[in-house]
Amino acid sequence: MAFYEKDVGTLIDEAKLQARIREMGAEITRDYQGKELTLVCVLKGSTFFAMDLARSIDLPLTLEFLGVSSYQGGTETTGEVRITTDVSKPMAGKHLLVIEDIIDTGLTMGFLLENLRARHPASVKVASLLEKPSRARTKVDIDYKGFVIDDVFVVGYGLDYAEKYRNVPFIGVMKGK
Ligand code: PRP
Ligand code: MN
Ligand code: MG
CATH number for position 155: 3.40.50.2020
- Reported as a pLDDT band with limits 50, 70 and 90, residue 86 is very high
The answer to whether the CB of 145 falls within 8 A of the CB of 132 is no
Domain presence at residue 17: yes
Q: What is the DSSP letter of 171?
A: E
What is the domain range of residue 114?
A: 8-174
DSSP code of 91? -
- 154: in domain: yes
- Residue of 31, 104, 141, 143 with catalytic role: 104
State the chain's mean pLDDT as an integer: 96
**Cβ-contact 35, 95 below 8 angstroms:** yes
Which residue's CA lies nearest to atom 3 of ligand 1? 102
Q: What are phi and psi of 40, to 5 degrees?
A: -105, 100
Residue list, ligand 1 pocket, CB within 6 Å: 42-45, 69-71, 77, 100-108, 160
Three-state secondary structure call for residue 102: strand
pTM of the full structure: 0.96
Secondary structure (DSSP) of 81-101 = -EEEE--SS--TT-EEEEEEE
The total number of structural domains in the chain stands at 1
Q: Catalytic site residue 104?
A: yes
C-alpha 130/C-alpha 100 separation (Å) is 8
**Per-residue pLDDT for 37 more than 90?**
yes
Q: Which numbered ligand comes closest to the C-alpha of 109?
A: 1
- Interatomic CA distance for residues 103 and 90, integer angstroms: 25
User: Which of 41, 66, 75, 102 has most ligand 1 atoms within 8 Å of its beta carbon, as the pocket-test mutant?
Assistant: 102
- Domain assignment present for 3: no
Identity of the residue numbered 142: I
Question: Which atom of ligand 1 has the smallest separation from the CA of 111?
Answer: 14
> Is position 1 within any domain?
no
* Contact indicator for 150, 171 with CB cutoff of 8 Å: no
Q: Are the C-beta atoms of residues 108 and 42 closer than 8 Å to each other?
A: yes
Q: Has residue 45 been placed in a domain? A: yes
Convert the pLDDT of each residue in 117-129 to its tens digit. 999 999 999 999 9
- In a domain? residue 87: yes
Q: Can you tell me the ipTM of this complex?
A: 0.98
Cα 35 to ligand 3 centre (Å): 32
